[in-house]
Amino acid sequence: MRVEYINPFVEAAFNVLKEVLVNSDVRRGELYLKSASTPVLGVAAIVGLAGDVEGRVLFDMNRDTALAVASVMNGEQLATLDDLAKATITELANMITAQAVTKLHDLGFQFDLTPPAIFTGDNMEVSDQDVEALIVPMETPQGKIEINVAIRERA
């Protein structure tokens, strides 16, 4: 997978997390590549892409992180991963994807997005046939959020 697809997501994730987590210390971890199945941390928002490029982006975190991030974004302590908390994580995925896609469109790639869907559960994994997944961990005070991008040019 070409790295130019992932950079916009990393930049967007960094910018948006910095903004919604109120200037907290957000750091980018080391990028790594997975070609086989990847475990999912517990709460994953997925956005699909279809067009000149196709694939999907996962925003993956554990439950505690999801709850902590949703709590900061709502300005109140949320106790459970309820509809509001899930809508908050969905909106986070929306904001990051929208910003990344703007950059990709500027680079000349045309494609559509699906609305984000949220998966929650234990011991989940994601497999991408024929597409490598590039993963960028973002470290926040609320915990680790992995941006997991599997995109390819349409054959």
- Residues in contact with other proteins by CB under 8 A are 16, 19-20, 73-75, 83-84, 87-88, 90-91, 94-95, 98-99, 101-102, 105, 115
Comparison of 45 and 135: residue with beta carbon closer to other proteins: 45
Residue whose structure tokens are 């500027």: 106
Nearest distance, CB of residue 80 and other proteins, angstroms: 14
Closer of 3 and 87 to other proteins (Cβ): 87
Task: Indicate the residue among 44 and 135 with the shorter CB distance to other proteins.
Answer: 44
Give residues with Cβ within 8 angstroms of 6, minimum separation 6. Answer: 31, 134, 136, 147, 149, 151
State the burial class of residue 61 (Cβ atoms within 10 Å of its Cβ: 0-12, 13-18, 19+).
buried
SS3 at position 108: coil
CB of 63 to other proteins, least distance (A): 17
Phi, psi dihedral angles at 10 (to 5 degrees): -65, -45
Q: How far is the CB of 154 from other proteins (least distance, A)?
A: 20
Closest approach, Cβ 104 to other proteins, in A, equals 9
Rounded to whole angstroms, the Cα distance separating 127 from 92 reads 23
